[in-house]
Amino acid sequence: MRLIMKFGGTSVADGGRMKYVAGLVKDAVDAGNEVVVVVSAMGNITDELIVGCDLAMGGDQRAVAKFVEESSRRHIAASVEAVHLKKIQRRVDESIKSTFLELSKILTGVAYLGELTPRVKDYILSFGERLSAPILWGALVSRRVSSEWLTGKDAGIVTDSTFGEAHPLMNVCRYHVREKLEPLLERGATPVVTGFIAADQNGVVTTLGRGGSDVTATILGSALRADEIWLWSDVDGLMTADPRIEPSAKPICELSYPEAMEMAYFGAKMMPPRALETAMQDNLPVRIRNTFNPKNPGTRIIGEQKIDPQAIVKAVSLIRKVALVTVSGASLVGTPRVVAKLFDILGRNNFNVLMITQGSSEANVSFVVPRDSLDRTLNILETTLLGGDMVREVNAEDDVCIVALVGAGMRGIPGVAARIFGAVAREKINVRMIGQGSSELNVSFVVKESDGEAAIRALHREFDLGR
């Protein structure tokens, strides 16, 4: 098989884990597979680089120097532990020291100027993967695996110039990635590619946003016509519920892309929706696997939507830290331009709307936004909508959460809604808002945040998801 194997930050958190991951890759190569490795930054390094940016913006050069020194020691220690061939280790250490020297100069420049543009921030955040990739390369070469490491830019991943969350130009990517990586695979080498990092058409470094390493994996999978993409993390796959809420939660063996998309949107720990979109376009099977339990096959995500009569619902999830906003007024009835104006305001101000409902009376519109954007949402809506003769009031509740159920088996099955809201009612939980798309893959509703976990447990029992 031709495999794309992506390892997240927890999988490569230190030298010991790098060494272990190299063993997993070697096993796959020795089994006759062609493997391309995508590696994330070591655990928490990207967050630490963000802190480094803040220190630099504050002009604290001494703190910047201390940050660079401590991070450098951590990476050198990882190299010593992961790479046991001294000659290779020296090459890795030289690369690490050179990269940190460059990082130090950039952060010092930011400290002097007191300015951090999105372009410069992207470049600084790219250092995490640029530091982890040579260590994993060294660990592989130490195990006699022929390998080369490349940045996403070097591998041919080209994006637009939206710094912070760049969008890949897929037709260009496919051409350049094949040109760069196919020759390596043909001569039996295992490329190690930095996740998260790309470049725009002018060669300027960009980053792919949170979950960007998963996006990198799907771009490479699409370009190289991979048989499967394996996303290695610290979980056995997608779960029927958060095991911290429902201890009987179980891994899900198989999902369709639309089901996985719904779960990703509603907070499941998995690949981001835009990575799923790329895999779906090329019908690339994706597995979510546990680095620390490699015998478990994990969750497989595929194009075919299989419906098990015994599995009407596949998972329940909870989104916390949200707020419910309701815009009401009798003049909303039969007045489309008010609703159009409302959504125009939300769109122009880049508000992330998680759910929307409007009653058939048309007297009010309710929607859910992240709680941290509630104050700004209310300020803008009250300024622009109140005071006329159409909108009477704008109300908000900031102590709510979203409960979501996902499963293709709900489609066309009568009585599912009765079971859902019957189970919730038996727990004496009041439902504040309900939403269901026409696809019937998902039913979502809003309850008080204090009732969220009880609702998850009740629904997990009702649909016997722990079986």
> What confidence score (pLDDT) does residue 275 get?
87
- Taking the CA atoms of 228, 232, 237 and 241 in sequence, report the sign of the dihedral they define: negative
* Mean pLDDT of the chain, nearest integer: 90
Q: Which segments within 226-298 are labelled E, that is strand?
A: 228-233, 254-256, 286-290
DSSP 305: -
- Taking the CA atoms of 312, 318, 322 and 325 in sequence, report the sign of the dihedral they define: positive
Question: What average pLDDT does this structure show over 98-107?
Answer: 97
Helix axes 61-82, 86-113, angle to 10 degrees: 160
Global confidence as pTM: 0.87
Listed by start position, the domains of the chain span 2-234, 315-462
> What confidence score (pLDDT) does residue 421 get?
94
- Give percent above pLDDT 70 in the chain: 93
| Tokens (6 digits) for 282 | 């090329």
Euclidean distance between CA atoms 176 and 157, whole angstroms: 7
- How does residue 41 score in pLDDT terms, banded at 50, 70 and 90? very high
440: pLDDT strictly greater than 80: no
Euclidean distance between CA atoms 91 and 74, whole angstroms: 17
Question: What average pLDDT does this structure show over 44-73?
Answer: 94
Instruction: Kindly report, residue by residue over 247-259, the tens digit of the pLDDT.
Output: 999 999 998 888 8
Instruction: Kindly report, residue by residue over 406-421, the tens digit of the pLDDT.
Output: 988 887 778 888 999 9
Which tops the pLDDT comparison, 84 or 441?
A: 84
Same fold yes or no, 2-234 and 315-462: no
187: pLDDT strictly greater than 60: yes
Instruction: Kindly report, residue by residue over 262-285, the tens digit of the pLDDT.
Output: 887 766 656 778 888 889 989 999
C-alpha distances (whole Å) from 183 to each of 93, 178, 192, 385 are 27, 8, 14, 60
Cβ–Cβ under 8 Å, residues 457 and 246: yes
Cβ–Cβ under 8 Å, residues 55 and 64: yes
- How does residue 425 score in pLDDT terms, banded at 50, 70 and 90? very high
Phi-psi region of 420 (alpha: psi -120 to 50; beta: other; left: phi over 0): alpha
> What confidence score (pLDDT) does residue 393 get?
84
Euclidean distance between CA atoms 59 and 53, whole angstroms: 10
Residue with tokens 């919730």: 424
CA proximity to 279, closest of 327, 232, 223 = 223
Euclidean distance between CA atoms 242 and 237, whole angstroms: 12
> What confidence score (pLDDT) does residue 309 get?
65
Instruction: Kindly report, residue by residue over 362-381, the tens digit of the pLDDT.
Output: 568 899 999 999 999 999 88
348: pLDDT strictly greater than 80: yes
Question: What average pLDDT does this structure show over 39-51?
Answer: 94
| Tokens (6 digits) for 383 | 């300024």
- Any idea what the Cα angle at residue 238 is, between residues 234 and 240, rounded to 5°? 125
Question: What do you get for the CA distance between the two ends of the chain, in Å?
Answer: 33
The superfamily (CATH) of domain 2-234 is Acetylglutamate kinase-like (3.40.1160.10)
51: pLDDT strictly greater than 60: yes
Question: What average pLDDT does this structure show over 101-114?
Answer: 95
- Architecture in CATH for domain 315-462: 2-Layer Sandwich (3.30)
Could you tell me the strand order of the sheet in which 197-200 lies? Answer: 158-159, 197-200, 205-207
- How does residue 360 score in pLDDT terms, banded at 50, 70 and 90? low
CA proximity to 37, closest of 1, 6, 2 = 6
> What confidence score (pLDDT) does residue 334 get?
59
421: exposed, middle or buried (Cβ count in 10 Å: 0-12, 13-18, 19+): middle
Which tops the pLDDT comparison, 457 or 360?
A: 457
Residue with tokens 């299989």: 306
The number of beta carbons lying within 10 Å of the beta carbon of residue 80 is: 14
Cβ–Cβ under 8 Å, residues 215 and 273: no
| Tokens (6 digits) for 120 | 């410069």
Instruction: Kindly report, residue by residue over 118-172, the tens digit of the pLDDT.
Output: 999 999 999 999 999 999 999 999 999 999 999 999 999 999 999 999 999 999 9
Which tops the pLDDT comparison, 219 or 261?
A: 219
Q: What are phi and psi of 131, to 5 degrees?
A: -90, -35
How long, in residues, is the chain?
A: 467
> What confidence score (pLDDT) does residue 361 get?
58
- Give percent above pLDDT 90 in the chain: 69
Question: What average pLDDT does this structure show over 4-23?
Answer: 96
Question: What average pLDDT does this structure show over 179-183?
Answer: 97
Instruction: Kindly report, residue by residue over 285-298, the tens digit of the pLDDT.
Output: 999 999 999 999 99
Euclidean distance between CA atoms 319 and 304, whole angstroms: 27
Q: Are strands 254-256 and 299-302 parallel, antiparallel or unpaired?
A: parallel
